[in-house]
Amino acid sequence: MSSFDKLADKLMPVANAIGNQRHMQAIRNGLISILPLTIVGSFFVILLNIPIKGYMDFIAPWRDTLDVPFRFTVGLMSLYAAFTIGSFLGKSYKLNDITSGLLAMLATLLMIVPVNIKQGVTVAGEAVAGRYIPVTSLSSQGLFGAIISSLIAIEIYRFIKVRNIEIKMPAGVPPVVASSFSALFPTLAVVLVFWIPRHFLNIDINAIISYIIMPLKGFMTGTNLFGGIVTQFFIDLFWVLGIHGHAVMGPLIRPLWDQAIVQNMELFQSGVSAYELPNIFTEQFFQWYAQMGGTGSTLALVVLFIRSRVIYLKQLGKLSFIPGLFNINEPMIFGAPIVMNPILAIPFILAPMVNTVVVYLFTVSGLIPRMMVKPPFTLPAPLGALITTNWNLIACGLVFICFFISLAIYYPFFKAYEKKMLETELQQKEEEERAKALAEAK
């Protein structure tokens, strides 16, 4: 048994346990479900910051109005995440998914203390007074609180449901009405569990969670180079072992990534320079620099395959080129294959890590800004880097530097693999010719 097989045997049970755990799946699926909101919100950040002379002055009268879609998409991501996470978790328990989502939202909102405003002014200049919910509590700042509250709310719902503590309606009552009445006790329980600690005992769950999570967030998404390398290493390693790296790492890293890019986005919108944003290692950092063509920076390998003397590799390279441009590389991972391939696994892991270090040095030296929007991951890398760094041309050019670094790292391993494949191809051809000669002799 090879070292890869031994490592896979040890990690596979752990990876499967994480990937199949219902709470982890709910978090991953819930956060992925709100991607359209955060992506569309990102486009409005771009719209408000196009570096064309005179453009900012032109949109100045409508700036606050143009900012509204961002505030109601990205600015409320915790509320949307609470609903989707709660809905997915409830569905996994065979509970009503709509009720589950609503209870998760309710729990998240109950952790917020309304603000009393005796006299204020709206953006439009109108006088206001009354009780208001601080929107910042529902943005990225409250994401981890929303995740925890959603999970707890659904566990409360399930606890009551399995014990049949509910108001049951007669058989002739419409299912929607019956479902609404059966949710009365879970709703009351969720209200009491979250309302009393926060509003009577002044226990701020969001603040506690943020305090606990902050060191991990700083390590994996802030400015810690080692944290960025570790993140990239494990994603690549799991893929090499035939395990979906993003699926395994997603429940842990995606909330951190989402919080990091939204924090950058909000600070950038408030006037902070893109060079001074707090988070370097966002998901976009890895997408556009370390993972061109997909995990493992395989676009460089695709180009090498296209020029290969091995017919199979040449055809695979041609078929994988267009998907690779748009960061879809499953054809390469499973077609080359890279999975469980000791030759190609080394550059698959090494190239993204080297790129991570190179781009980090460019970033901390102030040559390129940090990421501040979240466009679709299928954008070609140069365009993605250009948009996410506030139209920085050096960042766009750095993508090509990273591509050639990946090309150089992959090249010797590609040649070794090509030689092996050529020998196999020649052997198969000789066997076919022998078989043909035998057939003709008969």
CA pair distance 140, 260, nearest whole angstrom: 8
Cis peptide before 382 (omega within 30 of 0): no
Q: Is residue 14 part of a domain?
A: no
State the Cα torsion 37-40-42-48 to the nearest 10°: -130
CA pair distance 293, 378, nearest whole angstrom: 9
76-117 per-position pLDDT tens digit: 989 999 999 999 999 999 999 999 999 999 999 998 888 777
Looking at the structure, tell me whether residues 226 and 124 fall in a common domain. no
CA pair distance 163, 185, nearest whole angstrom: 12
Looking at the structure, tell me whether residues 172 and 224 fall in a common domain. no
Looking at the structure, tell me whether residues 230 and 158 fall in a common domain. no
278-315 per-position pLDDT tens digit: 999 999 999 999 989 888 999 999 999 999 988 889 99
Comparing 163-177, 297-311, 378-392, which segment has the lowest mean pLDDT?
163-177
Comparing 19-23, 36-40, 73-77, 187-191, which segment has the lowest mean pLDDT?
19-23
Q: How many structural domains compose the chain?
A: 2
Q: Is residue 5 part of a domain?
A: no
CA pair distance 357, 398, nearest whole angstrom: 12
Looking at the structure, tell me whether residues 392 and 336 fall in a common domain. yes
* Residue-number span of the structural domain to which 76 is assigned: 22-203
Looking at the structure, tell me whether residues 170 and 56 fall in a common domain. yes
Q: Which of 136, 169, 203 is the last residue of a domain?
A: 203
Strands (E), 114-231: 115-121, 127-132
**Tokens found for residue 202:** 């002044």
Looking at the structure, tell me whether residues 97 and 232 fall in a common domain. no
CA pair distance 420, 315, nearest whole angstrom: 17
> Do 297 and 322 form a contact (C-beta atoms < 8 A)?
no
| pTM as predicted | 0.76
Closest CA to 292 of 324, 331, 257: 324
The DSSP code for 92 is: H
- 241-259 per-residue burial string, b: 16 or more CB within 10 A, e: under 16: bbbbbebbbbbbbbbbbbb
**Which residues make Cβ contacts (< 8 Å) with residue 52, sequence separation at least 6?**
none
